[in-house]
Amino acid sequence: MINSLSGRLLILTTVFVMLAEVLIFVPSIARFREDYMLNRLERAQIASLTLLADDMLDPALEAELLRNAEVFNVVLRRDEMRQLVLSSPMPQMIDRTIDLRNDSASVLIRDAMMRLLTPENKVIRVIGAPVRDAGLLIEVTMDTGPMRTAMIDYGLRILLLSAVISVFTAILLFLAMRVFLVKPIKGVVAHMQRYAAAPEDARRIIVPSAGVTELREAEEALKALQTELTSALRQKERLAQLGSAVSKISHDLRNIMTSAQLFTDRIEMSEDPVVARMAPKLVGSITRAVHLCESTLAFGRAEEPGPTLTQVRLADVVDDVLDSERLAAGEFPLVFNMDVPADLFIRADPEQLYRVLGNLVRNARQAIMASRIEGEIGIRATETPDAWLIGLRDTGPGLAAKAQEHLFAPFQGSVRKGGSGLGLAISAELLRGHGGDIALTRTDASGTEFLITLPKGDGTI
């Protein structure tokens, strides 16, 4: 109850209303004290009129008049003359004088609070203007004890009334909040829970119905989010089914193409000039088809095996990659450079690292050979206290803007005719398994550069 929105609102409302009542209480108690002293002045003035009407008053009657007025002495100032009208013995000396004609509101509030906090009974002199201009001023002496008692009684009644008002207001606000806010919020939460149970079911998408503007906006935002998520889940399911079908087709197609590749090896030995001229193109086409099937199968695996991290001498891996690509380049004027320290060991999976570097170097080689201009491919490596850095550069024609937009997206990053667009996507995925990444640092008409970052971390092999 206390931790709920409505429960906390109930408590806060009660506290704030009580605080507001306290702020009202302070000036109210000051006003009550002022009215109390003005009332005593008025009573004293009425008592003094009796004496003015009859100069000879019985002492017992005079004492009764002072007792009814709850004062000790009454002094009137009339016609520039100060006259002690009624008097009686005072129990103690006058503690202070209060002039109600000149005191400001702040002074009255301060004196009222001091009086509440001072339990001792004191005798004070109170000066004020007579009622209906019956003289210039009237002055009385009186006890503070009865006044303080009356102030406490008045204050308690004010506080009790404030407490009743606070609780009543809080209960009304609590009920209103439950009807207009808490209940609709619980309805939204229930919609979210039902949707979470089956997000693919479009029937569970919330229909905005709240009357509160802010809550209606939240429902509309939730509806848009659920609609987008449901569409994404449906698309994901369709893509998963398509990927499964493509993987199966690619598996069978790869076997067929592998068999066809074996036959083309025999065709290449034919002495027929037409066959000899067409055979290399046929071999190239079949090879690209096999590569596409293998790449699709590799990317479409449900689970790419995690890297087996070992200490690897990077120069050995780079040397193997470059040797393989030199054979593929054949007689084409392409230079391969390696600037890797012989004593540089990194923590990586050697097979996966070979695949990453092989994809990058192969792409660079194919781009340069397609341009029919001699070129250069280089790999260099350095290390920092936190990571190993492997850079690959080439002097190829650079990447097109379209390829840069979806560089590491599967089936989208290739601009080479016959390319699958999977090489960089697979490379990026393998590097993420190492905790690293790959970035394109430069590409223009003079060439392209990639940077691989492998974190050292704090583990040991």
Per-residue pLDDT of the chain (461 residues; tens, 9 = 90+): 566 666 777 777 777 777 777 777 788 888 888 888 888 888 887 777 666 555 555 667 667 777 777 788 877 776 666 666 667 787 888 888 888 877 777 888 888 888 888 888 888 888 888 766 555 688 888 888 888 898 889 888 888 887 787 778 778 877 887 787 778 888 888 888 888 888 877 778 888 887 778 788 888 888 888 888 887 777 777 666 666 666 656 655 665 666 566 666 667 666 677 666 666 666 666 666 666 666 655 655 544 566 888 999 999 999 988 988 888 888 899 999 999 999 999 999 988 898 899 889 988 998 999 888 999 999 999 999 999 999 999 999 988 887 777 787 665 545 454 444 567 888 888 898 888 999 999 999 899 999 999 999 744 33
pTM beyond 0.75, yes or no: no
Tokens 């029937």 sit at which residue?
Answer: 203
pLDDT, tens digit, 9 for 90 and up, residues 55-71: 555 667 667 777 777 78
For residue 292, what are the contacts with CB-CB under 8 A and spacing of at least 6?
250, 418, 420
Q: How far apart are CA 394 and CA 368, in angstroms?
A: 8
CA angle in degrees (0–180, nearest 5) for 219-225-231? 135
Q: How far apart are CA 77 and CA 87, in angstroms?
A: 15
pLDDT-above-90 percentage for the chain: 18
For residue 249, what are the contacts with CB-CB under 8 A and spacing of at least 6?
none
Tell me if residue 96 falls in helix, strand or coil: strand
Q: How far apart are CA 228 and CA 273, in angstroms?
A: 60
Q: If we measure between CA atoms, which residue out of 395, 6, 320 comes closest to residue 185?
A: 6
For residue 265, what are the contacts with CB-CB under 8 A and spacing of at least 6?
283
For residue 440, what are the contacts with CB-CB under 8 A and spacing of at least 6?
399, 404, 407, 448, 449, 450
Tell me if residue 255 falls in helix, strand or coil: helix
Beta carbons within 10 angstroms of residue 27's beta carbon: 13
Domains contained in the chain, CATH given:
5-168 (no CATH), 213-298 (1.10.287), 305-455 (3.30.565.10)
| Order of all β-strands in the sheet with 334-339 | 334-339, 375-383, 387-394, 447-455, 437-444
User: Would you state the structure tokens that stand for residue 442, as one six-digit string?
Assistant: 């430069």
Whole-number Cα distances in Å, 127 to 63, 139, 142, 459: 21, 4, 11, 89
For residue 88, what are the contacts with CB-CB under 8 A and spacing of at least 6?
62, 63, 66, 72, 73
pLDDT, tens digit, 9 for 90 and up, residues 207-243: 888 777 878 888 888 888 888 888 777 777 766 666 6
Q: What is the DSSP letter of 201?
A: -
